[in-house]
Amino acid sequence: MPTIELTRFRVEPGRVAELLRARPAMLADFRADRTGFLDARLVRLPDDQWLDIVTWRTAEDFAASRAKGANRPGIAAFFAAIAELVSAEEGTEPEISEA
């Protein structure tokens, strides 16, 4: 069952362009270095906040990624643009049967 990572963070208005420039390299680094990375969506919210919705194959893949931290340049550049972590949650995507 896929694991969903929900990370809400704040970015200073003057660093939004930096965050968005860093995103493609961050995703490339995840694809190259993070086993089980499936997809990521970035959502802009009110009050300088953002939500990153990342899908992992398993909870173990997500835990292994978290342990690596900002180990690659693209990931480090993306994280550097973040002013504050607001919240981080993990859940699972349910299997929905079509009856």
For the question of whether the overall pTM of this predicted structure is more than 0.75, the answer is yes
Under DSSP, the state recorded for 50 is E
Predicted confidence band of residue 1 (pLDDT cuts 50, 70, 90): confident
Is the domain covering 3-91 a CATH 3.40.50.720 domain? Answer: no
Model confidence over 29-77: pLDDT tens digits?
A: 999 999 999 999 999 999 999 999 999 999 999 999 999 999 999 999 9
What is the model's pLDDT at position 51? Answer: 98
Tokens of 21: 């420039």
Tokens of 48: 């300088």
How far apart (Å, rounded) are the C-alpha atoms in residues 73 and 11?
A: 19
Give the amino acid at 28: A
What is the model's pLDDT at position 93? Answer: 85
Domain positions in the chain are: 3-91
